């Protein structure tokens, strides 16, 4: 469905953006692939690496800048919104910056997409948006609600907005794997809490899940993949088996376990073969959508500590190697 289409990706020079562009260029034939991001050096490096591809267009800009954002959307068919400020402690200390990018930026994406008649928009979310206890999670929950509600006032049956929510990404910028690798040289791995668990997904799995939902979305859904959990002690052993560990305590705004579907969301959630879908609780939603799915039990919740699938240390080592 991407062949001969124009796709815009915000945050296109980030970890997800790089993998998304790699897969799209390798497996599809888009008319144009627009990379929109703030960092001109990363754009320059990407241009050098991909200089043989004439379908790429690079725009320097911030999702906070509505006018610049609007200039990039003329003729765009699909938008993947991956731009965000996401480092939890930094967002706790700089709450206004998180709101400007993650909330106001989301509003700008929606308004510009409606103005230009973009057919489909998928926004990337996070497990931290479910029952948030930190500002990053709260801003992403707010963003999710904005994209779901955008379907009600887009004014066009052809325009669709949906959300993909998934867990921690292996090796992404700012994640725990590069941090543990750095600490490996010191011989001691700092652990916040040995009981801590997280959902775990690779960049490629994340990109392919987004592409799959871009095809099957009806508008208004929050898609959550069925993915395994891991324990932080197992991850430390996978990254640095020879190192000792020291317990430093949970950081501000950090959870012991992550939840991607709360019990309160269970009444609007259906289960597919590969995912869960939180349906929008709005009158405009067509209840004939996703008829292949089945309702989850009342009070069902999807949490990293009660997950049925767990990664072993060898499996973690294999994922980290990839």
Tell me, yes or no, whether 53 lies in a domain: yes
Tell me, yes or no, whether 231 lies in a domain: no
Tell me, yes or no, whether 247 lies in a domain: no
Higher-confidence position of 91 and 142: 142
Q: What is the per-residue pLDDT across 85-126, written as a single tens digit (0 to 9) for each?
A: 998 888 999 999 999 999 999 999 999 999 999 999 999 999
Tell me, yes or no, whether 117 lies in a domain: yes
Instruction: Identify the three-state secondary structure at position 34.
Output: strand
Q: Is 294 a catalytic residue?
A: no
Quote the CA–CA distance of 169 and 206 in Å, as a whole number.
Answer: 8
Tell me, yes or no, whether 216 lies in a domain: yes
Predicted confidence at residue 87, as pLDDT, reads 87
Q: What is the mean pLDDT of the chain?
A: 94
Residue 172 pLDDT > 80, yes or no? no
Kindly state the percentage of the chain with pLDDT values over 90. Answer: 84
Predicted confidence at residue 104, as pLDDT, reads 98
Q: What is the per-residue pLDDT across 180-209, written as a single tens digit (0 to 9) for each?
A: 988 998 999 999 999 999 999 999 999 999
Q: What value does the CA radius of gyration of the chain take, rounded to a whole number of Å? A: 20
Predicted confidence at residue 322, as pLDDT, reads 60
Tell me, yes or no, whether 1 lies in a domain: no
Q: The domain that contains 95 carries what CATH number?
A: 3.40.50.720
Q: What is the per-residue pLDDT across 251-308, written as a single tens digit (0 to 9) for each?
A: 888 899 999 999 999 999 999 999 999 999 888 888 788 988 999 999 999 999 999 9
Q: What is the per-residue pLDDT across 226-250, written as a single tens digit (0 to 9) for each?
A: 999 999 999 999 999 999 999 999 8
Tell me, yes or no, whether 245 lies in a domain: no
Predicted confidence at residue 106, as pLDDT, reads 98
Predicted confidence at residue 174, as pLDDT, reads 67
Higher-confidence position of 78 and 92: 78
Residues whose CB is less than 8 angstroms from the CB of residue 42 and which lie 6 or more positions away in sequence, other chains included: 13
Tell me, yes or no, whether 163 lies in a domain: yes
* Domain count within the chain: 1
146 Ramachandran zone, left/alpha/beta (phi>0; psi -120 to 50): alpha
Q: What range defines the domain where residue 87 resides? A: 6-167+203-226+259-303
From the list 18, 19, 86, 128, the catalytic residue is 128
The DSSP string of 91-150 is: HHH-HHHHIIIIIIHHHHHHHHHHHHT-SEEEEE--GGGSS--SHHHHHHHHHHHHHHHH
């Amino acid at each position: 469905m991407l062949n001969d289409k124009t796709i815009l990706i915000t945050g296109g020079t980030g970890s997800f953006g790089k993998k998304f562009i790699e897969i799209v260029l390798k497996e599809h034939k888009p008319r144009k692939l627009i990379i929109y991001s703030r960092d001109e050096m990363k754009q320059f490096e990407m241009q050098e690496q991909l200089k043989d591809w004439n379908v790429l267009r690079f725009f320097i800009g911030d999702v906070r800048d509505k006018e610049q954002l609007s200039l990039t959307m003329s003729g765009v068919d699909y938008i993947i919104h991956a731009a965000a400020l996401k480092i939890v402690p930094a967002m706790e200390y700089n709450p206004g910056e998180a709101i400007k990018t993650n909330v106001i930026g989301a509003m700008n994406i929606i308004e510009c997409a409606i103005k230009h008649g973009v057919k489909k928009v998928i926004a990337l979310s996070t497990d931290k948006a479910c029952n948030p206890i930190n500002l990053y999670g709260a801003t992403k929950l707010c963003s999710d609600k904005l994209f779901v509600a955008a379907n009600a006032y887009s004014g066009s049956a052809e325009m669709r907005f949906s959300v993909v929510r998934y867990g921690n990404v292996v090796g992404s910028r700012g994640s725990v794997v590069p941090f543990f690798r750095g600490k490996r040289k010191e011989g001691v791995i700092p652990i916040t809490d040995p009981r801590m668990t997280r959902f775990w997904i690779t960049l490629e799995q994340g990109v392919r899940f987004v592409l799959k939902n871009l095809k099957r979305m009806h508008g208004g859904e929050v898609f959550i993949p069925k993915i395994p959990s891991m324990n932080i002690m197992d991850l430390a052993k996978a990254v640095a088996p020879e190192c000792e560990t020291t317990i430093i305590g949970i950081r501000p705004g950090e959870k012991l376990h992550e939840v991607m579907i709360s019990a309160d969301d269970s009444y609007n959630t259906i289960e597919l073969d590969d995912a869960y879908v939180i349906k929008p609780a709005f009158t405009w939603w067509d209840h004939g959508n996703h008829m292949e799915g089945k309702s989850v039990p009342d009070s069902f919740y999807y949490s990293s500590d009660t997950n049925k699938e767990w990664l072993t240390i060898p499996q973690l080592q294999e994922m980290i190697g990839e």
